[in-house]
Structure 1
Amino acid sequence: MDFAVFLQENKYIDFSSPLITGKAKQLFKHINTDAEKAKIAFEYVRDEIPHSFDIKAKIITSKASDVLKYKTGICHAKANLLAALLRTQGIPTGMCFQHITLAEDDSLGYCVHCYNAIYVNSYWIKVDARGNTNGKNAQFSFNKPLLAFTNRQNYDEFFWPGIYASPHKDTMEMLDNAICLQDVIDNIPDYVNEMPDIAE
């Protein structure tokens, strides 16, 4: 398997930024194994970078360095930061997508939710750094993925299969154009058109 695409830098996973490299050095000091690095980075992004909706953020972020700079982002932006931190260490990291309701019910429609896949110990694990607020309990697990959202049968909720090397293009464009959280609510995409880099 060619992991190179899961280690590449792009506009949104800008891991050569001094902000990203500096935080990576701080987080991974004296840490040797990829598994330990993955867990530390995941818990940092999950716990120390609040989800924009949770704190009613006044600024909208998309690229990893801005998420770190402003200490906030929605799930897609936080996933970019986690990928950037781990790619500095040569740890292949990708994105996975889920179709969920935007509100607690489907009154506001649906959106594409993003979480990460990390290649450690010779296989991919799934982690969701969205943030454990309002009863969510996403954890780092080498076994069954423990994500922020479960798919509910009474709604049109599901996982898009596969692992993607790049962020969701339509969502990134939406974030780049958004001025406030209401713009995100009004314009967040609800479908993934791209093909995954790894099929599942």
Structure 2
Amino acid sequence: MELIQENPDLSAYLAADEVIDHHHPLVRETAARLARDAVDSYAYAHLAFDFVRDTIPHSNDSGDPRVTWRASDVLEQGTGICYAKAHALTALLRAEDIPTALCYQRLRHDAGAGHCVHGLVAVRFHGAWHRQDPRGNKPGVDARFSLNGEQLAFLPDREEGELDHPVLYTAPHPAVLAALKAAPDRSYLWETLPAELA
């Protein structure tokens, strides 16, 4: 699949905003701590991915009712669904000047009916974008950091109406952010996840 940059200017994939708040002290502190053990940008990206994937539980897997959406809040509260975890990883990577995009898949909803949008990231290395999924592993899900072929949590089943969205966004998609901000708790959010990206 060919990935399409929303913005041709790579610096846009380093920007901070209210969600990807990589100038926040907690984001900077976490990035600096991870960077101490990294010999280069690739090693740092791998460490940051593993950190978000493994130390911040996916709130639906853990049963945590809290809804987080701002990167610093995800790190502070230690919880989030796929979108929130993608926001946290994006902030940590951009904090170390690694161009990072937000991207999405359309998958069957875990609730059993319809579809929902799933969030992940893409990192820029060696002149190309590489998608990564920090969602968190569980039985049947084994996502890994890789620049040599994708190792994502989910592979869309086209016969089920699932698909990969090719656009690489500089900021969270408005439908995703609206759902996160409107949700009083994770149970409500689970029922109101966007099914499509307009």
TM-score, normalised to structure 1, is 0.91
Cα RMSD, aligned residues only: 1.3
> Is 1:52 aligned to residue 62 of structure 2?
no
Aligned residues of 1:171 and 1:189 also touching (Cα < 8 A): yes
The equivalent position to 2:183 in structure 1, one of 174, 178, 185, is 178
- Alpha-carbon distance in 1 for matches of 2:79, 2:9: 32
Measured against aligned partners, the alpha-carbon deviations of 1:38-64 in whole angstroms (never above 9, x if no partner) come to 111011101111001011112110010
Equivalent in 118, 121, 130 of residue 126 of structure 2: 121
Q: Distance in 1 between matches of 2:53 and 2:155?
A: 17
Deviation of 1:30 (Å): 4.5
Q: TM-score, normalised by structure 2?
A: 0.92
Displacement after TM superposition at 1:83 (Å): 0.5
Name the residue aligned to 2:87. 80
Amino acid at match of 1:143: N
Shift in Å, 1:76: 0.6
Match status 1:19 vs 2:26: yes
The counterpart of 1:133, out of the listed 132, 138, 161, is 138
Q: Which runs of 4+ in 1 moved over 6 A?
A: none
- 1:128-174 deviation per Cα after TM superposition (whole angstroms, max 9, x unaligned): 00011122011111121110001124311000112111112111111
Letter of the structure 2 residue corresponding to residue 181 of structure 1? R
CA distance in 2, matches of 1:118, 1:153: 25
Instruction: Work out the CA distance in 1 between the residues paired with 2:187 and 2:64.
Output: 11
1:22-171 equivalences in 2 (<5 Å): 22-103=29-110, 107-171=112-176
Q: Sequence identity of aligned pairs in percent?
A: 36
**1:10 alignment counterpart:** 17
Does the CA contact (< 8 Å) of 1:98 and 1:114 recur in 2? yes
Q: Is the 8 A contact 1:35 1:121 kept in 2?
A: no
Distance 1:119 1:166 in 2: 15
Amino acid at match of 1:45: V
Distance between the aligned counterparts of 2:79 and 2:126, measured in 1?
Answer: 30
Question: Residue 189 of structure 2: SS of its match in structure 1?
Answer: helix
Structure 1 residue runs of 5 or longer lacking an equivalent are 194-200
Task: Return 5+ residue gaps in structure 2 as ranges.
Answer: 1-7
SS at 1:66 equivalent: helix
Amino acid at match of 1:114: G
SS in 2 for 1:115: strand
In 2, are the aligned partners of 1:75 and 1:129 still within 8 Å (CA)?
yes
Matched to 1:37, the amino acid is Y
